[in-house]
């Protein structure tokens, strides 16, 4: 069949039905950004499903970048490459002035790059261990004997600071999803330069979501760059300086203040890639 047919309902209504809510603008970060901290030059990535070609991007200190797209469109592939967990097919990754292409994740860690997966108990925390034991494991230069009194003191401080509803001896699997996410963030080293997050608020209630973003906003104001995957359009629009939309092996960079919720939903569906400035 040829010719153009009209949609049975307005585009705005279609986007609302797709994502379960009407998308509105929110308050976006407004503080000044710092120096360039992450640079990708002609980066090409490939896995068994797709290939992302010739990506060029500069990210600055304090910048928050949202990654949008249908599940499996390349967001996780991109994020893992930025952490050194996946070796690029070609191109270069620089952190500051350091060439990092092909380096292992341990080297990225030394440069202040932290990756937090969406699976809080599968890849982030360790079931069967309590909060205090997690903090003991985070010591980069552990002594021969663990000073459990000191570790308990650190755990109590972090539990209070991050408002975790648990005790030093609480098992991580006993915490709610929101408290598990707070626990993960409480384990982040203070010197972290780049935070790479998969769905940081997925499945959380509104109170926990707002608190997680308060923590992340504070980190960005301290100079950390944040890249995060989200399927929530309002979250992407409210918290990002820029949004990278992934579709069918292509990536579109959107300036948040120039795109509406309807347009973002259309981009996720593949419409408008060629016409966007």
The angle, 0 to 180 degrees and rounded to 10, between the axes of the packed helices 148-161 and 177-186 is 120
Cα distances from 233 to residues 100, 200, 238, in angstroms, run: 32, 14, 8
| Tens-binned pLDDT, residue by residue, of the chain (277 aa) | 444 455 565 555 555 555 454 544 445 556 678 899 999 999 999 887 788 999 999 999 999 999 999 888 899 999 999 999 999 999 999 999 899 998 999 999 999 999 988 888 888 899 999 999 998 887 766 677 888 888 899 999 999 988 898 899 999 999 988 889 889 888 888 788 999 999 988 888 888 888 889 889 999 999 999 999 999 999 999 999 999 999 888 899 998 888 888 888 888 887 766 555 5
CA–CA dist 49, 75 (Å, integer): 12
With a threshold of 0.85, does the pTM exceed it? Answer: no
Closest residue by Cα to residue 112 from 38, 35, 221 = 38
Residue 201 near residue 181 (C-beta atoms within 8 A): yes
């Amino acid at each position: 069949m040829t010719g153009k047919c009209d949609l049975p309902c307005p585009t705005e209504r279609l986007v609302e039905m797709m994502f379960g809510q009407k998308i509105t603008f929110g308050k976006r970060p407004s503080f000044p950004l710092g120096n360039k901290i992450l640079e990708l030059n002609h980066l090409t990535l490939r896995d068994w499903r797709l290939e992302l070609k010739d990506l060029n991007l500069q990210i600055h200190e304090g910048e928050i970048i949202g990654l949008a797209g249908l599940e499996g469109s390349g967001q996780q592939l991109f994020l893992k490459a930025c952490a050194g967990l996946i070796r690029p097919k070609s191109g270069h990754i620089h952190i500051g002035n350091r060439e990092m292409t092909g380096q292992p994740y341990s080297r990225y860690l030394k440069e202040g790059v932290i990756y937090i997966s969406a699976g809080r108990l599968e890849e982030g925390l360790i079931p069967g261990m309590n909060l205090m034991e997690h903090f003991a494991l985070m010591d980069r230069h552990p002594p021969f004997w663990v000073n459990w009194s000191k570790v308990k003191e650190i755990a109590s401080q972090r539990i209070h600071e991050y408002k975790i509803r648990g005790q030093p001896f609480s098992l991580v699997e006993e915490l709610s999803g929101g408290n598990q996410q707070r626990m993960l963030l409480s384990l982040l080293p203070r010197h972290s330069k780049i935070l790479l997050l998969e769905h940081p608020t997925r499945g959380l209630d509104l109170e926990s979501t707002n608190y997680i973003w308060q923590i992340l906003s504070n980190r960005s104001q301290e100079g950390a760059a944040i890249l995060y995957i989200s399927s929530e359009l309002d979250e992407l629009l409210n918290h990002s300086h820029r949004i990278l939309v992934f579709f069918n092996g292509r990536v579109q960079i959107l300036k948040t203040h120039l795109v509406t919720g309807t347009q973002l939903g259309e981009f996720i569906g593949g419409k408008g890639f060629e016409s966007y400035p």
